[in-house]
Chain A
Amino acid sequence: MIFADTARTEAMLDDMTEKLRESLGDQLESSAMIGIHTGGVDVASALHKRLGLSAPLGMLSISFYRDDFSRIGLHPTVGATDLPQNLEDRTVILVDDVLYSGRTVRAALNEIFDYGRPARVLLACLVERSGHELPIRADVAGASVDLGPNQQIKLQTDPLMLHLEGEPT
Chain B
Amino acid sequence: MGVRPVPGIVLEISHLHKAYGQNTVIEDLSLTVREGEVIVIVGPSGCGKSTLLRCINALESNQGGEVRLHGEPVLKGSKNLPEIRQKIGMVFQNYELFPHMTVLDNIMLAPVKAQGRKKSEVREEALALLKRVGLETKANSFPRQLSGGQKQRTAIVRALCMHPDILLFDEVTAALDPEMVREVLEVILDLANQGKTMLVVTHEMQFARAIADWVVFLDDGRICEEGTPEEFFDHPKTERAKKFLNTFTFERKARQPKTI
A and B: interacting chains: no
